[in-house]
Structure 1
Amino acid sequence: MKRTLIGTAVTIGLVVPLAVAPVARAAALPAEPTPAAVDAYLGEVMESTGLPGMSAVVTHGDRIVHAAGYGRDSEGGPVTARTPMRVASVSKSFTAMAVMTLVDDGRISLDEPVAGQLPGFRMADPRAAGITVRHLLNQTSGLSDTTVDIGAAQKAESLAGYVSALGTGTLTAAPGTRWEYCNVNYDVAARLVEVAGGRGFGDHMRERVFGPLGMTGSTVDDRVVTPSRGFNALYGTWVARSELSGFHAGGSGGVVTTAADMGRWLIAQTGRTGPGGRTVTPESLKIMHTPPAGRGYAMGWGEEELDGTGLLVHSGNLFTYTAVQAIVPETRYGFAVMTNSAALHDDTYDVLAGLVAMSRGRTPEVPGGDRQAYELVLGLVAAAAAGLGVLGVLRARRWARGRAGGRRRWIVARLLPALLPVALFAAYPDLISFLSNGRTVTWEQLTYFAAPLTITLAVVAAAGAVTAAVRLVRLRSVGSSR
C-alpha cells in the first residue's frame, strides 16, 4: 500500500524528478554470509535509512545465522532480537498454519464450504455458500472490502461479532474464480479455528503454533505482549504514535513477535520439528507453500522472483510497524525484517533484497535516501503552495480589477486552477482506495504513514481555497464600487 501512495503522489504531480538521485552504497562481504557480515550490512542500513528501530533474522536450514536488533524503541530503549514487533499481514501465514493443524486433526476440511463448518457465517449473496476454507486461505473467496461493511466488522469486539457483521455483504466474484487480497478472509479463518478447535484463537495459536516452535515471545493478544509505540515519518522527523485501533486483532494481522522467534518460525518452514514437536504434517506444509496454478499466492505466502532467486514472501504494513518475511525453497534460507516505523517508502523489502543477495554470495546494495527524498520534495511543495497562497491573497485586488466586468463563465474558468486542489483533496481517500485495488482507506489512516503527503495535499488545497475565496470577495468589492 505504501508504494501505491507514492504512485499517487507521482500521479498528482507532487513528486517530481530529483536533480540528483539517491546513490546506493555497497557493502563488501565474503562469498557466503557470516553473522559478522550480516551484522555489518544491517548496521549500514540503519545509518543510511535513518530508521528509528529494526530487527532482523537470517536462517539457513535448521539454524539461525544471525538475529539482532538495531536502533531504539519509542521509550528510548535499545531494539534487540527479543523486542516485540507487530508484523501485520505477515500474520496470515501463521493463521494458515493454525488452520492446517486442525485440518491434520480432521476437524476442518479444506474443500468443504465454510458455512457448513462455521455456524453464523452467512451473507446476503447466495454464492457465499460455496466459499471453502481453501478459498479463504488462498484469497479466492470473492470477499472484498468494497462489498462488505468493513467499518461494522472492525468495530466488533470478538471474532464471532466480526463474522456476524458480514451478514449484509456480497461477493465480487464467484468463489474460486478470482484472486483478490482481503483481510476478511483471514479473520473468518481465525473464527473457524476458534469453533473447530474449541478455544480462543489466541489460545490455539499459543498451544498449537507458538508453543511447539518455542516462540515464547509471540502472541496475537497485545495485552499479553505489548509492543511499544511505533513511529511515523514527518518531513524527516520520526514521531512516536500509538497504533491505530481496530487493525491488529484476529487472523489477518494480529501477531506480535520477535526476531528470535521469527528465526524459529522460518526454520519450521523447512519442515524441521520444533522443540515442542511438529506443528503440521509435511503434506500440509507443502500445501501451504504451493500456490494454485496461475495464482501465485498460497496460504499467506506469495511467489516472487528477486534477481533470479525464487522466493515465497509476504509483507505486512500496519500504521506504525512494517515487516516482511521470505523463504528460498531452493537454498533453504529464511529472512525476516521488522521495523517499528511506517512511512511513504517501505525500507523492509529493500533490506530483504540485500539479505537475499548475501545468501547468494553477492554484494548487497545498502538502501537509503528514498524516504528522505520523497519527504523533501513534499515539504518543498507544501512550502511553495503556502507561499503562492499568500501571494495570491496579496494580489487578489489586482486580479479582481483586471477581471471586473468580465463574463461570469470566464471568471469561473480562471478560478478553476485554484479550486482543483480542493476537489482533489476531497476525493483523496477514495482515490487512494481505488489505487489500492479497492482496499478501504479512511481519512484517519491517511494521517499515519501517509502524513507528509496528506499534509502537503491539505496545504495545497487550503492555499487554493483561500486564494479563490479572497479573489471572489475582491471581485465583488470592485464590482459594487463601479
Structure 2
Amino acid sequence: MFRFLAVLVFVAGLVAGPGALPAAYAAPPALTPAAVDDYLRTALDKTGLPGLSAVVTHGDRIVHAAGYGRDSGGRAVTADTPMRIASLSKAFTATAVLILVEEGRIGLDRPVAEQLPGFGLRDPRAGAVTVRHLLNQTSGLTDSTVDIGELGEAGSLAEYVSRLRDAALATDPGAAFEYCNVNYNLAARLVEVASGRSFGDFLAERVFGPLGMGHSAVRADQVMPAEGFNSIFGRWVARPELAGFLDDSGSGGVITTAADLGKWLIAHNGHGPRLLSQASLEVLHTSSPVDEYAMGWAPESADGGADLLVHSGNLFTYNAFQAIDPATGFGFAVLANSAALQDDTYDIVHGLVALSRGETPAQVGGGRQLFEAILGSIAVLALALGVAGVVRSQRWARRRAGRPWWAIAPRLLPAVLPIAVFAAYPPIISFVTGGRHVTWSQLTYFAAPLTISLSVLALAGTATVTARLLRLRSVRSVQ
C-alpha cells in the first residue's frame, strides 16, 4: 500500500510541476489587463476551481481586479465577492501592532506579560516572550504545547488568552521558528488592550478605513462570505467552513475581496495612503535572525534570484495567496472559494509574477485531478480486494488450519497494515505537516478524497481479517 502512495505522491508532483502554457499566453512586453484576464480565465479552466478572484497592482494603481466562476449560491464571483483569506490575516495583525508601536502604545521588544494583563503560561520562560517573538513566530509556542481544541472553543480574544494558562513553550523565546496561530491571536488581543478598541474595530478604523477597504472585516456578521467548496473525487461540494475561532481572530479571521486586497498590496509596496512609515514596513518585511519568516510575510526566491514577499492562507473551504515584488512594484493576490489536496492559488500567483516579468508562466492545474483520480482508483481496488478477501477466506483458512498462530500472523499483516495506518491517521498527518494539530473532523474537509480512500482500505482490511479468523476458527473446530 505504501508503494501505491509513494507512486501517487511522485506522479502528482510531476503533474503539478512546471510546464509551458500555450504560446498564445506568453506575456506581452507590458502587462495589460487583457493579458492578466486571459491568463486567469485559462487558469480557472485548467485547475477546475469552482471560483476565484484575483488582483494585480503596480505602484499606486490596480492593473486588474476581477472574479471568475461561481460561488456556492450560483452567483458569479467578482472582484467584490467576499472570501476568507485565512493566514493572510497575519500581515493585517502585524500591521495593526506596528501602528501602535509607532505611537508608543506597544513595545516591540518588551515582554508580552508586561503589556497584556491575563497573559501567563505554566512555563516560567513565558516572561521573556516579546511582541517581536510573537510576530516572528519565535515565541516557543507550538501546536503541541497548547490545547488547540480548547482554544478553538473560545468566544473572544480575552477568553482565548485566558485559556493559555496551562500552555508551555517548546523552546526558549527567540531560539527557533515554529508556525503557530496562537502567536497572532495573542498579538490581536494586545492590539485590543493597547488601543482600547475591539480588534475588528481597530482594523476598521486604522487599516480598512484609511485604505478604502469597504468590504473587509474580521467578523462574518459584518461581511458574510458564501460557503466554500471541497473537491471529492473531482466533484465540488459546497460546505460550511469548519467551526473554530474565526471571528476577531488575529491569525486567520479577515474576510475581504480581491478589489480591497489591491489597496492593501499597494500600501505594502509603499504607495497610497500611509499606514506605516517606510522604516516600519521594512521591519514587517524583514526576516527574523532564526528563520526567513518576517511578520506576516516571508521572502521567497523566485526564478532568476529575485525575491518576493509572500504568504499563503489555507482554511478548510478557502485558499488564498498574496505576493509583492519590491523590485518591480507589482503586487498579486488570488483568492479561491475552495480547498482541496492541492492549493492552486500558489501556482496562479506565480504565473502572474512570471507575466509581470515578461516570462512564460508555468502550467497550472491537473495535479489535483490526477491525485484524486489515483486515490479513487485505489479506493475501488481496495474495495475489490476486500470483497475477494472475504469470498476466499474459506479457502485461505483451510490451507492454514494446521499451522500454529505464530506462523499465521505474518500472513494477516498486509490486511492489518491499512487498519493500523488509518487508526494513526491524524497523528501521521500532524507529523508530516511539521507538528501542526490535525483532527479527524479536519481530515474530512480538503483531505476528504485521501480520508475516504484510507477508510476503504481499512474497512477492506478489517473485513478480510475478520472473515479469515472466523473461517479459521470454524475449520479448526471441525477438525
2:187 is equivalent to residue 196 of structure 1: no
Instruction: Assess if the C-alpha contact under 8 Å between 2:151 and 2:245 holds in 1.
Output: no
Q: In the alignment, which of 356, 360, 363 is matched to residue 366 of structure 1?
A: 363
Within 5 Å, give how 1:33-44 maps onto structure 2.
Answer: 33-44=31-42
Quick one: distance in 2 between partners of 1:105 and 1:321? 35
User: 1:16: Cα distance to partner?
Assistant: 6.1
Structure 2 CA distance, aligned partners of 1:386 and 1:208? 57
CA distance 1:359–1:96, change in 2 (3 Å): same
- Aligned equivalents of 2:370, 2:246: Cα separation in 1: 30
CA contact (8 A) 2:20 2:362 kept: yes
Decide whether aligned partners of structure 1 residues 10 and 413 sit closer, same or farther in structure 2, where only a CA change above 3 A counts: closer
1:273/1:279 contact within 8 Å kept = no
- Which of 373, 392, 396 aligns to 1:395? It is 392
| Change in CA separation of 1:317 and 1:118 when aligned onto 2, cut-off 3 Å | same
Picking from 84, 88, 109, the partner of 1:111 is 109
Q: Separation in 2 of the partners of 1:9 and 1:112?
A: 51
**Which segments of 5 or more consecutive residues in structure 1 lack a partner in the other structure?**
1-7
* Cα separation, 1, equivalents of 2:243 and 2:125: 32
1:176 equivalent in structure 2:
174
**Amino acid in the other structure paired with 2:275:** T
- 1:291 positional shift: 1.3
* Alpha-carbon distance in 2 for matches of 1:303, 1:11: 32
8 A Cα contact 1:9 1:453, kept in partner? no
Change (3 A) 1:10 1:271: farther
1:282 equivalent to 2:278? Answer: yes
TM value normalised by structure 2: 0.96
Cα distance, 1:294 vs. partner? 4.8
String of CA shifts for 1:34-72, please: whole Å, max 9, x gaps.
Answer: 000000000000111110000000001101000000000
Would you say the 8 A contact 2:85–2:314 is kept in 1?
Answer: yes
Partners of 1:9 and 1:364 in 2: how far apart?
33
- For 1:422, the equivalent position in structure 2 comes to 419
Q: 1: CA distance between counterparts of 2:400 and 2:251?
A: 58
Question: Which residue is equivalent to 2:341?
Answer: 344
Asked if 2 retains the 8 angstrom alpha-carbon contact of 1:247 and 1:318, the reply is: no
Letter of the 2:285 partner, please give it: H
Contact 2:324 2:331 survives alignment (8 Å): yes
Quick one: distance in 1 between partners of 2:20 and 2:151?
43
Equivalent position to 2:446, from 449, 456, 460: 449
Identical positions, percent: 61
Equivalence for 1:4: none
Deviation at 1:248, TM superposition (A): 2.4
One-letter amino acid matched to 1:280: L
Query: Which residue is equivalent to 1:357?
Result: 354
Report SS of the residue matched to 2:307: strand
Number of the residue aligned with 1:263: 262
| Inter-partner Cα distance in structure 2 for 1:273 and 1:266 | 10
State how far apart, in whole Å, the 1-side matches of 2:3 and 2:82 are. Answer: 32
Distance 1:349 1:148 in 2: 29
Q: Is residue 26–residue 359 contact of structure 2 (8 Å, CA) maintained in 1?
A: no
**1:296 aligned to which of 275, 292, 299:** 292
Does the 8 Å contact 2:175/2:290 carry over to 1? Answer: no
Partner SS for 1:327: strand
**Gap change, CA 1:426 and 1:14, over 3 Å in 2:** farther
Question: How far apart, CA to CA, are the structure 2 residues paired with 1:193 and 1:144?
Answer: 22
2:7 and 2:270 map into 1 onto residues whose CA distance is: 49
**1:225–1:21 CA distance, 2 compared to 1 (3 A):** closer
Q: TM-score, normalised by structure 1?
A: 0.95
Q: Aligned pair in 2 of structure 1 residues 102, 34: CA closer, same or farther (>3 Å)?
A: same
User: Which whole-Å deviations, capped at 9, do the CAs of 1:438-466 have from their partners, x for residues lacking one?
Assistant: 11000000000000000000000100010
Deviations 1:308-367 (A, max 9, x none): 231000000000000000001111110001100000011011101100001111121231
Runs (4+) of structure 1 exceeding 4 A deviation are 8-16, 20-24
Report Cα offsets for 1:117-156 as digits up to 9, x if no partner: 0000000000010000000000010010101111111111
User: Which amino acid is the alignment partner of residue 253 of structure 2?
Assistant: G
Deviates more, 1:456-465 or 1:151-160: 151-160
Does the 8 Å CA contact 2:121/2:166 hold for their aligned counterparts? yes
Question: What is residue 208 of structure 1 aligned with on the other side?
Answer: 206
Change (3 A) 1:456 1:16: farther
For 2:108, the aligned partner's letter is L
